[in-house]
């Protein structure tokens, strides 16, 4: 009888956030393709709704299952310092399980003040660290931590069709819910973007989380017959909607930019205003060579208009550039999953 390989994953999973759920699903799909007889323990305090064979949600405090596992993975997204580290310390000291950090963005918090020493000691416990952009690698390099800059692990997530009402050419708009102190500014910018785009295109607003969905309901300038809002928290639906769009505009969300890159959909990304001197959106757009289509959260609306006009006037050029980048990122993603599979198998 073949051994059944067990993997534990700790991250912000089960909360209905499209990007995190995309990374989780694609991790399972990619590893299951390489190791069919594998099962997955998802360590999270959220109520995971994705029902998939061999995927089990467990408490993030459940250390006992680490004794059964062939690999511990902590990662996915822009995780805060210390996320899942209690499992890491226990796993390395008590069970000697192999551990990797994967699919993360490393912001400046990890490299500043009293946090630095703690980060340095903890990151040395990993067998391997994969970060998803060159900016994150630069931050860990400054600490003397070995890591590899790869790409986002959600690349090549299979899409799933969902109902799309389209009239003419569709533009997909993703608007991130933000903290109270930035809300007025975010709303004002989003309303201007809605008015500007819907002059010429049918607009599909696509919330990426329950919080985004609640936030998007307040926009009164979404015109009947000229726009729609699609409420689904299936990341594979989100990817399908974006792949059927002429353009994408993401105001603060990261993973719409990943989905658009795969499908060669020209995009504009706006940074999220929370982390000083680092934006995972800005770092990603540089990583995929689309930095000229990235705008700062505090930029005036005229800045968006200029980027929007340039995107439309040079759409074929951007599609060609994105296609080249995607081919490169696809190879990188497959290679990192090959390495992870070898760690699981003990090769």
Same domain, 190 and 135: no
Number of domains the chain contains: 2
Same domain, 264 and 298: yes
Same domain, 146 and 34: yes
Query: What's the CA gap between 54 and 38, in Å, rounded?
Result: 7
- Label residue 264 left, alpha or beta by phi (over 0 means left) and psi (-120 to 50 means alpha): left
Same domain, 129 and 231: no
Question: Is the distance from CB of 173 to CB of 249 less than 8 angstroms?
Answer: yes
Binned at pLDDT 50, 70 and 90, residue 297 comes out as confident
* More reliable by pLDDT, 63 or 42: 42
Question: Is the distance from CB of 341 to CB of 35 less than 8 angstroms?
Answer: yes
Residue 323 lies in a domain: no
CB within 8 Å of 174: residues ≥ 6 apart = 205, 206, 207, 208, 212, 248, 249, 250, 251, 252, 253, 256
Rounded mean pLDDT, 48-76? 90
What confidence tens digit (pLDDT) does each residue in 88-144 have? Answer: 888 888 788 999 999 999 888 888 877 888 888 889 999 999 999 999 999 999 999
The Cα angle at residue 281 between residues 278 and 286, in degrees rounded to 5:
90
Question: Whole-model pTM above 0.75?
Answer: yes
Same domain, 215 and 263: yes
Same domain, 336 and 273: no
* More reliable by pLDDT, 118 or 186: 186
CB within 8 Å of 233: residues ≥ 6 apart = 16, 18, 21, 49, 209, 210
| CATH code of the domain in which 305 resides | 3.40.50.2000
Residue 197 lies in a domain: yes
* pLDDT over 70 at 82, yes or no: yes
Same domain, 98 and 176: no
Same domain, 19 and 119: yes
Q: Is 36 exposed, middle or buried (0-12, 13-18, 19+ CB in 10 A)?
A: exposed
Same domain, 236 and 184: yes
Residue 263 lies in a domain: yes
Q: What is the pLDDT of residue 290?
A: 95
DSSP 93-144: III---EEEEEE---GGGGSTTHHHHHHHHHTT-SEEEESSHHHHHHHHTTT
Same domain, 32 and 136: yes
Residue 160 lies in a domain: no
What confidence tens digit (pLDDT) does each residue in 138-165 have? Answer: 999 999 999 999 999 999 999 999 887 7
* pLDDT over 70 at 34, yes or no: yes
The Cα angle at residue 72 between residues 67 and 73, in degrees rounded to 5:
165
Question: Is the distance from CB of 143 to CB of 123 less than 8 angstroms?
Answer: yes
Binned at pLDDT 50, 70 and 90, residue 83 comes out as confident
Question: Is the distance from CB of 272 to CB of 297 less than 8 angstroms?
Answer: yes
Residue 163 lies in a domain: no
Same domain, 149 and 189: no
Enter the DSSP assignment of 80.
Answer: P
Domain that holds residue 23: 5-154+328-345
Enter the DSSP assignment of 154.
Answer: T
Residue 115 lies in a domain: yes
Partners of 205 in the beta sheet? 173, 229
């Amino acid at each position: 009888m073949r051994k059944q390989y067990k993997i534990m994953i700790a991250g912000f999973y089960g909360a209905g956030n499209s990007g995190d759920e995309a990374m989780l699903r694609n991790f399972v799909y990619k590893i299951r393709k390489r190791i069919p007889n594998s099962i997955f323990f998802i360590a999270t305090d959220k109520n995971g709704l994705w029902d998939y064979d061999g995927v089990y949600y467990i408490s993030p405090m459940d250390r006992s299952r680490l004794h059964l596992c062939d690999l511990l993975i902590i990662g996915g997204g822009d995780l805060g310092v210390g996320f899942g580290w209690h499992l890491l310390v226990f796993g390395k000291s008590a069970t000697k399980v192999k551990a990797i950090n994967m699919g993360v963005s490393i912001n400046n918090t990890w490299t500043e003040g009293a946090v630095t020493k703690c980060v340095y000691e903890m990151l040395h416990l990993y067998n391997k660290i994969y970060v998803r952009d060159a900016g994150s690698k630069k931050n860990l390099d400054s600490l003397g931590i070995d890591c590899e800059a790869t790409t986002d692990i959600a690349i090549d997530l299979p899409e799933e069709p969902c109902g799309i009402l389209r009239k003419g050419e569709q533009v997909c708009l993703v608007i991130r819910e933000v903290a109270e102190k930035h809300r007025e500014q975010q709303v004002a910018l989003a309303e201007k973007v809605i008015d500007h785009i819907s002059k010429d295109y049918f607009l599909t607003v696509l919330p990426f989380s329950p919080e985004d969905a609640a936030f998007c309901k307040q926009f009164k300038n979404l015109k009947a017959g000229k726009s729609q809002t699609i409420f689904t928290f299936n990341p594979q639906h989100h990817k399908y909607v974006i792949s059927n769009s002429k353009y994408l505009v993401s105001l603060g969300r990261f993973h719409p930019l990943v989905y658009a890159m795969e499908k060669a959909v020209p995009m504009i990304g706006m940074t999220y205003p929370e982390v000083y001197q680092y934006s995972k959106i800005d770092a990603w757009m540089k990583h995929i060579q689309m930095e000229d289509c990235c705008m700062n959260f505090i930029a005036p609306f005229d800045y968006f208009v200029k980027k929007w006009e340039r995107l439309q006037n040079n759409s074929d050029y951007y599609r060609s550039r994105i296609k080249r980048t995607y081919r490169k990122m696809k190879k990188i993603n497959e290679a990192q999953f090959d390495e992870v599979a070898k760690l699981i198998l003990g090769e």
